Amino acid sequence: MINVDLIFKIAAIGIIVSVLNMVLNKAGREEQAMMTTLVGIIVVLMMVINLVSELFETVKAMFQLY
């Protein structure tokens, strides 16, 4: 609902990270494949973290769990 583009971006990054992982594994460079997977996770996390903190604020305010 809010900002559907973000979902598409995350999906595209996921696809690219998995293709990169496959290519690097097949070429024998497993450490670098692991590294790019981690980098992909961090990038997606950075893109999403604002929304997640907003979600927690909303939940706290809604249930008045201060």
Partner 1 sequence: MLIKVISSIVIIISFTLIGGIHANTYSNRTKLLSQLLISLQMLETEISYSATPLPILLSNIGKKSKEDIGSIFLKASEILSKKEGYTFSYLWSMILDSEGMALDLYPEDLEIFKQLGNNLGATDINNQIKHIRLIMEELRRNHEDAIIAEKRNVKLYKQLGLLAGFAIAIVLF
Q: How far is the CB of 51 from partner 1 (least distance, A)?
A: 16
Our CB check for partner 1 shows the closer of 12 and 55 to be 12
Distance (Å, whole) CA 33 – CA 37: 6
Tell me which residue has tokens 């494949």.
33
Tokens found for residue 65: 């769990």
Tokens found for residue 40: 């992909």
**Chain residues in the site for partner 1 (CB under 8 A):** 9, 12-13, 16-17, 19-20, 23-24, 27-28, 43
15 CA to centre of own chain? 11
Our CB check for partner 1 shows the closer of 6 and 59 to be 6
Q: How far is the CB of 6 from partner 1 (least distance, A)?
A: 12
